[in-house]
């Protein structure tokens, strides 16, 4: 069966809206806990610089500041709460893509693209989960972890950011196209 046929009706529109609202609530809660623990950790590195560094020396420098602040456990907790955040944005992107896509005609390219982006949101969250697994591995020995862990961490972060950026751009363009073109034709 074609994924678009399945996603055209399942989950139901009501369940999809419920997923969207639940994901927003979960996102706010997870983000609050992450923010608290990141602040408590004493982390000074900008998130994009850290995630996309591909550099073990940079991560060791970042962790040295966290260790000096006595914030390693807080940093570890922040990374753990990030898993809830991943679930929330995976569900948010999935449900939002379905809600947007279901507004277009069944066989349209826009509807088919929405199916792709509905699946890609959870894929991005999966990449984020692997990225975080490497972060948690580096935290087991923040001064002497293997250099390839930093490369793997940044590789999965890069894939995540590319998917999320393209998905957000698609959603904005799809909403504009629907509002400015499709609704006016109807």
Q: How far is CA 24 from CA 12, 17, 90, 143, 171, in A?
A: 18, 11, 11, 37, 17
For the entire predicted model, the pTM comes to 0.93
Axis-axis angle for helices 147-177, 109-140 (nearest 10): 160
Distance CA 59, CA 52 (A): 10
pLDDT band (50, 70, 90) for residue 106: confident
Contact 56, 150 (CB under 8 A): yes
pLDDT digits (tens, 9 = 90+) for 24-44: 999 999 999 999 999 999 999
């Amino acid at each position: 069966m074609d994924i678009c046929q399945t996603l055209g009706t399942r989950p139901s529109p009501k369940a999809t809206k419920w997923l969207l609202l639940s994901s927003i609530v979960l996102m706010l809660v997870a983000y609050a806990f992450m923010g608290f623990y990141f602040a408590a950790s004493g982390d000074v590195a900008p998130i994009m610089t850290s995630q996309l560094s591909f550099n073990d020396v940079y991560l060791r420098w970042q962790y040295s500041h966290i260790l000096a602040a006595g914030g390693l456990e807080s940093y570890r907790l922040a990374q753990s709460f990030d898993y809830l955040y991943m679930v929330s944005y995976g569900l948010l992107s999935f449900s939002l893509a379905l809600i947007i896509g279901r507004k277009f005609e069944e066989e349209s390219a826009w509807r088919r693209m929405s199916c792709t982006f509905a699946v890609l949101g959870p894929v991005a969250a999966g990449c984020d989960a692997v990225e975080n697994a490497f972060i948690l591995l580096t935290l087991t020995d923040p001064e002497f972890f293997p250099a390839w862990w930093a490369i793997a961490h940044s590789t999965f972060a890069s894939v995540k950011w590319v998917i999320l950026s393209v998905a957000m751009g698609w959603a904005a363009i799809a909403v504009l196209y629907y509002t400015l073109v499709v609704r006016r034709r109807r």
